[in-house]
Structure 1
């Protein structure tokens, strides 16, 4: 393996100094991913849940057993919520804190892909690969959200970096140990972090087949010692939790342990209850969500095949790992687009040596130009029709979104058409870069404040407090996490997972203890026919749901609402 060229002597891509290119790209990435932070609250589907759990950790100091309201939350390990809580303790602002772990994970992943590609090839290839990753729609969109999967991407990319530094650029047992450790952190964040260790399978194939560009470390027990570090972060979370659950004898803690160790891992993978898709589901995600990176694949696949036939281990290891990840998730009936998100950085890495040549090909430039033109044109046409013709589909969308959304989309579309007109086919990659910059900048600075009131339930909870008055207590019935998170003033809740009739009975009993000072805030369906809506107050529409408030005089004595199943267990993002 040839030594890595120092950045000070690297051949730049478009400026005179590669170091300035890297600095400017870092600022660009920070702005593209970070603009809008502080301008919105958590939005469904998952953000309010994790932010609520993190806030309750800070307020009550219960760090090992996360809570959603007064119930335990066993669906995910607490690492992501720990980091959100830590970010709040540092910043003192939840609007900023809840997005910081994802931002840090995104910037770290970009830095690691760049550094590894530069060491394996050169600065130009590395910068192009990192830019391609940054402006891929799935990466940019997900890394601007406060969910667990962006953080998992960061840990898995860190693990892959450490393993590849050892297996391709080594031997480096310290990096191997670091890779194993961060794979363990990934498991403590979301169980599938162990997938990073699948990198050892293509390595063993390459070593057995005497592939080129491969390190040949012979460490004996060092392999075992490195893999032992994989268990360190897992046990660092698991042992204290198990010891406390055993010591206090709380049956809820015992049930939490059982659920998070088995119900949310093995059972959820083998027999999922939702998001059921065909084995080929992820191929569609790659084609559509991975634009514009996916446009390069028709040219990249044969180029990869030629290099694999020359036994280049620098491509076998990341590509083999990507295939194994796709197979792993394809075998499970339950599938979501974010499951394969951690494969994106390694895909960009494998593209790195091809990108300088691919981006000069006219076919690639025509495809990228067509994507920019079609997306910008579609946004322009749809927004224009919605503003001037008001078709039925636009009215349905406006039931959940501010009508001003059309002016935002029109601005993005027109700006994209102008960019396409100036860059044309010759500079199509630059055109997509500029279009992506405009899209995410306007979405963050204009879209976030515009959509926040409805998406976060801030407006409806402020209206609820205005109806009840500053001193009254509000009880939440059939609530969503954003309702409790955004609630103002004295608030009670009656469980999240309990059936709605049971919540209703407890809410009515609670209200009757102080009928003058207590209101119930309820989802429309949960009240059934047991509340006289002429005596209730309509609060508003939020998150595709209608919300009401009522006092004791609106309750029909002896009535029990019929059991109702909320088919929308999770809000759409």
Structure 2
């Protein structure tokens, strides 16, 4: 990448940085963004089985809402699921009802529960462009929205039936409205204020305090740095805060009554505080984790954002840049301080980061960062591009002992993507490089999500187990199937909420012997205990099938042996 020419050489080429689109799409940027999102996200959307653990838990809890008609309490199997509010379950249940009413899908298909995530991600991208125009200009907003759409973490979240993509939509829209109030408070009307507070109320119903936290910390930061908050009056908090609480309060009152207060004790004391004070479910990470993982989470646009950050900090007195930095910095520090860390936790900050990166890329008089910082960005781009291809092919070889044709195409494609983007940036067409990255991500993600991952059959233990049960014991009544040694949430989604989750091989033998016609799956580690208990009970279990796979949640291989009693 050529870095020797002065920044002043950029203006001659900046106007054609986004000249990659047909004229019709340039006139309809929201249509272009919607098409880009579908091209990026639909591969794998229908073909990827339910993933452990969160997606299967959310989807199964939503299916039990649909089947029971109880839209207040959240249950997973026989247990109460008192961790997150009900907002995402309502959206998923509504998706299932619409799809079943139109005959397009059923409650047994995991993609039916992914629709709210896909729509939430789409709304977040469109909101980034819509409100980003007032912060960084139309062309930079279009580039920033495209970079957001193609970021690896959002592509992943659009495929997963849980809260984060829907939460991103509410946060992005709310922060867009906040940006208007900050920059042009005189033009911020009561309807916009009402929309702002209602969006925060919806965010509370989706993921508790995370949604309101982002604008709250942003507002505090702006008030301190500006030594005043003239925008606060425009937001009308005196009636806005009660409106936000009123939007969320009915369900919280109902769930408090229905669970006799257990929801609040478990959601706040058990879930939220454990994430703050310790690495819940082994998801611990050191301070700096999100900075180190940003290059992966925000691929392929991360390197442009990294190159833009020094210039954004120098431009912090500029009100739009100041607002975007206040959106990112305090919340980022909070996420870094919390002990439990996952790459998608910082997703509500990505729209601001992408807009900062796009504004720098489209600036005709941009200043390039220091050489070391620049080459760090290059290393991130090349490393993640090649690493993604190698990881996909490596997973295929480890799990299948074979090379996937789609995986073989990934390696040269990833190298070509990195080369094209670096060459384009070397001509100082950074905006064009950003948009090219979003466009070239389409075949990369399609090969991974449609050509490689669904074909890694050892990963998908639960669907294969359900197929084996259906083949060997067709028409098995509810409650007549038990399993030990593999209690992942996908088992309940694949086989139904009446599956008996058994702790030991002895429990499996006693379950099998308790009634005729039952079937039990026993993990290879529990087989000796199962056989000993069966001998003690004087029963003769017959092996009817086996399923071997890789439990990626625990990082180990497992073989499940299916038994029924000899007639």
* Farther-moved stretch of structure 1 (10-19 vs 506-515): 10-19
What is the CA–CA distance in structure 2 between the aligned matches of 1:207 and 1:28, rounded to whole Å?
A: 38
2:264 maps to 1:266: no
Check the 8 A contact 2:300/2:381 in 1, yes or no: no
The 5-angstrom pairing of residues 135-214 of structure 1 reads 135-170=150-185, 171-191=188-208, 192-196=210-214, 197-208=216-227
SS of 1:264 mapped into structure 2: helix
Q: Give the structure 1 partner of residue 404 of structure 2.
A: 406
Q: Distance in 2 between matches of 1:537 and 1:244?
A: 43
Q: Secondary structure at the match of 2:530?
A: coil
Q: Relative to 1, partners in 2 of residues 1:403 and 1:61: Cα closer, same or farther, differing over 3 Å?
A: farther
Q: Is the 8 A contact 1:46 1:147 kept in 2?
A: yes
Name the residue aligned to 2:537.
none
Matched, 1:238 2:252: yes
Counterpart secondary structure, 1:269: helix
SS in 2 for 1:291: coil
Match of 1:275 in 2: 283
Deviations 1:186-219 (A, max 9, x none): 2221122231322221332354269xxxx64646
Change beyond 3 A, Cα 1:430–1:457: same
Q: Displacement of 1:54 after TM fit?
A: 1.1
User: Separation in 2 of the partners of 1:53 and 1:382?
Assistant: 32
Distance in 2 between residues matched to 1:349 and 1:380, nearest whole Å: 28
Q: 1:195 & 1:45 partners in 2: Cα distance? A: 26
Equivalent of 1:459 in 464, 484, 499: 464
Whole-Å separation in 1 of the counterparts to 2:451 and 2:390: 20
Contact preservation (8 Å) 2:306, 2:357 = no
Q: Deviations over 1:533-567 (max 9, x none)?
A: 9954552123423212223579xxxxxxxxxxxxx
Structure 1-normalised TM-score?
0.79
Number of aligned residues: 512
Q: Is contact 1:80–1:189 with CA below 8 Å preserved after alignment?
A: yes
Q: Which of 290, 297, 301 in structure 1 is aligned with 2:298?
A: 290
Provide the C-alpha distance between the structure 1 equivalents of 2:191 and 2:304, rounded to a whole number of angstroms: 35
**1: CA distance, partners of 2:263 / 2:177:** 33
SS of residue matched to 1:65: coil
Which 10-residue stretch deviates more, 412-421 or 354-363? 354-363
Matches of 1:550 and 1:260, distance apart in 2: 39
RMSD over aligned CA atoms reads 3.5
> 2:522 maps to what in 1?
522
TM-score, with structure 2 as normaliser: 0.79
Q: Which runs of 5+ in 2 are unaligned?
A: 1-14, 425-431, 535-540, 552-557
Report matched runs for 1:555-570 at 5 Å.
Answer: none
Greater shift after overlay, 370-379 or 408-417?
370-379
Q: Does structure 2 conserve the Cα–Cα contact (< 8 Å) formed by 1:65 and 1:72?
A: yes
Structure 1 residue 365: deviation in Å?
A: 9.7
Change (3 A) 1:288 1:480: closer
Segments of structure 1 that go 5 or more residues without pairing to the other structure are 1-9, 247-253, 387-393, 555-573
How far did residue 484 of structure 1 move? 2.0
**Residue aligned with 1:229, SS:** helix
Deviation, 1:356, is 0.7
Q: 2:122 aligns with which of 95, 107, 123?
A: 107
Map 1:543-554 to 2 at 5 A.
543-544=550-551, 545-552=558-565
1-structure distance, mates of 2:436, 2:401: 29
When residues 376 and 465 of structure 1 are mapped into structure 2, their CA distance, relative to the original with a 3 A threshold, is same
